[in-house]
Amino acid sequence: MTAVDRPVMQKKDYKTDQEVRWCPGCGDYSILNAVQGAFAKLGKQLHETVIISGIGCSSRFPYYMETYGFHTIHGRAPALATGVKASNPSLDVWVVTGDGDALSIGGNHFIHAMRRNVGLKILMFNNRIYGLTKGQFSPTSEQGKVTKSSPLGTVDYPFSPIALALGAGGTFVARGVDILGPHLEDVVCRASAHAGTAVVEIYQNCNIFNDGAYKGFTDKEVRDARLLPLQHGQPLLFGANKAQGVAFDANFRPYLVTGADLGKAYVWDETAESPAPAMALATMSESEFPVPIGVFRRREKPTFEEGLQAQIAAAAAKKQESLRDLLYAGEIWDVR
């Protein structure tokens, strides 16, 4: 298919004939809408796109996207997606997962996808609760959270998915919010353009089991004062009039600046060689500092599938002539 033959895609082209079945008011509807909008902007072709999910409310996503897809095993979506990408690197492979699916049973697969820098785009819906299994605490639930599985409050310390992704060597790490549709569309588009593993954490409200988890910084009345948009090359400013900023000391400990000190606000560089600034933002206290959204880190390095294809090409160049050649090409021993 030539560029001329590629059909112009519209948002409706990504919608299936399946009834979308999430709880009324769930943030997943907003995310689905944003992803379909982003795919339309990018002109993604249905036959070239694969969406793979694990288990959880978010993992119904492939049913609602008119692309190829798999609804797979709890926590194992990155592993299956790696197989798809390695087998056919030309495919556009996306993983849809949740905070429980990705960070609990799937934690190992999540971090190793980033370590390998596989060309996957991972959308992780984070509602800080187990929704599908009816309200148990998850790896991102705040300490002290009272749930069905922690009636006295969880004693666990929560993961920061952004910090975890950065620590695992993530080359594109970003955050969006379900109700901020245009911003989320832009982040999804930027993730799509990245060659390696792109991770987008999406704050998503579960209005049944964890309603209002993010209202302290996403409600319209407080949004300007509580959200910190990350803009490459721009200082870290926030507030209705950009009258407050975030700066770092010599040890990358954040502090707030206002007035005459506003010029000390850190100029954001998502391509910085060191992950220290991004890690500092990812681990800031939500009660003391604004909540960052946007791209935390963007770095380029060879992908897993590129290395794999190079090995296959090198092996083919040796022109092994028979199965015997392969069996005897290396250390062998006799069993007597």
User: Phi and psi for 198 in degrees, rounded to 5?
Assistant: -115, 125
Residue ranges of E strands in 120-260: 120-126, 172-177, 198-203, 227-230, 237-238, 244-248, 254-258
Mean pLDDT of 292-298: 98
User: What are the beta bridge partners of residue 199?
Assistant: 122, 173
Mean pLDDT of 245-268: 97
How do residues 106-128 score in pLDDT, each as one tens digit? 999 999 999 999 999 999 999 99
Q: Give domain status of residue 316, yes or no.
A: no
User: What are the beta bridge partners of residue 248?
Assistant: 254
Q: Give domain status of residue 250, yes or no.
A: no
Angle of the 27-42 helix axis to the 181-193 helix axis, nearest 10: 50
Q: Give domain status of residue 153, yes or no.
A: yes
Residue 162 domain boundaries: 11-213+302-307
* CA-derived radius of gyration, the chain: 22
For position 46, which CATH number holds? Answer: 3.40.50.970
How do residues 74-101 score in pLDDT, each as one tens digit? 999 999 999 999 999 999 999 999 999 9
pLDDT range class, residue 335, cuts 50, 70, 90: confident
Which residue is it, tokens 């299994």? 133
* Separation between Cα atoms, residue 156 and residue 159, nearest integer Å: 9
How do residues 11-28 score in pLDDT, each as one tens digit? 999 999 999 999 999 999
Which residues touch 237 (CB under 8 Å, ≥6 apart)?
Answer: 243, 244, 245, 262, 265
Q: Give domain status of residue 275, yes or no.
A: no
Number of folded domains that form the chain: 1
What's the predicted TM-score (pTM) here? Answer: 0.93
User: What is residue 38's predicted lDDT score, i.e. its pLDDT?
Assistant: 98
